[in-house]
Copies of this chain bind each other. A is one copy, B any other.
């Protein structure tokens, strides 16, 4: 027998399809005995409403798209999970798309998702503002970690946490710093760099800028190598993953951390706690970030064309073992 539909159920129950539909969507409109019979038959037949048919008439896909630049960067799985949980709470599923660090892919995927989702969350987009705006035209959209005036955004602001990080290093006697810049297309990278520059200027300490490096472990190793070419005693890595690369490179060269150099990361991914030495970093409120993004998106979906919302959540500095007193060498 073919897939059960509301009609097969209706026939078996001696009611009309409309009643079956209502039994599911507006149960209070159906008398108790009929409703129960419908439910029983539905369960027996293993009925599942066709979301295509429903979507066709309601115009809702009950699905949101999520575009991440690199799912293998450990920051994103946490985010994905948070977003998925939040989406589930509002009855939606998540379609995940990995843009594999390509700005072009981001835009392409937004276009592809258009017809299949109610809205999209684009995490840490690499694409140009105009391309992004264009791609999202008429599609509810929330940007994560990148503000754009006319699109909603939820961002993690690490500025003050990075100040704390700097102060923490300063107190440990460091006076010469390196900034290991992240991907040049990344707003987060620019923002973090800016915060660190401002802090350094405020403190009047020396800041060597290196990079940009890719936000990968390998990129981190390169950054580590570059760091060794300077006399900075403390370095700000773009994120935890690159920081881990730096640690690995330094370890490989026999440079002790935090003995000879201190390193701070950003994001506080699982990795940060597992490396040796554990990473001093800035904890991003992943759960909140995801939940907020979904909320904002769902508001955009409810009221398309509504004013864009901009939410900013602060990161929190956390000191671990990759930072310590400046060596007197």
Contacts and interface: CB of A to CB of B under 8 A. Distances in A.
Interface of A: 46, 48-53, 55-56, 61, 63, 71-72, 74, 76-78, 80-81, 84, 93-98, 100, 111-112, 114-116, 137-138, 217, 244-245, 247-248, 251, 270-271, 273-276
Contacts of A248: 273-274, 276
A74 to B, nearest CB: 6
A199 to B, nearest CB: 28
A274 B217 contact: yes
16 contacts: A46-B137, A48-B115, A49-B115, A51-B52, A51-B116, A52-B52, A53-B56, A56-B56, A72-B77, A72-B270, A84-B96, A94-B95, A217-B273, A244-B274, A245-B274, A274-B275
A81 B76 CA distance: 12
**Which A-B residue pairs are the 10 nearest by beta carbons?**
A52-B55, A48-B115, A96-B96, A52-B56, A276-B276, A71-B77, A244-B274, A72-B77, A51-B116, A52-B52
Given A46-B138, A51-B116, A93-B116, 8 more contacts: A48-B114, A52-B61, A72-B78, A80-B96, A84-B98, A94-B96, A271-B274, A276-B276
Given A48-B114, A276-B248, A84 B56 contact: no
Contacts of A80: 71, 96, 98
Contacts of A56: 50, 52-53, 56
A122 to B, nearest CB: 16
Contacts of A245: 274
A274 to B, nearest CB: 5
A81 B98 contact: yes
Nearest to A100: B81
Given A248-B276, A276-B248, A93 B97 contact: yes
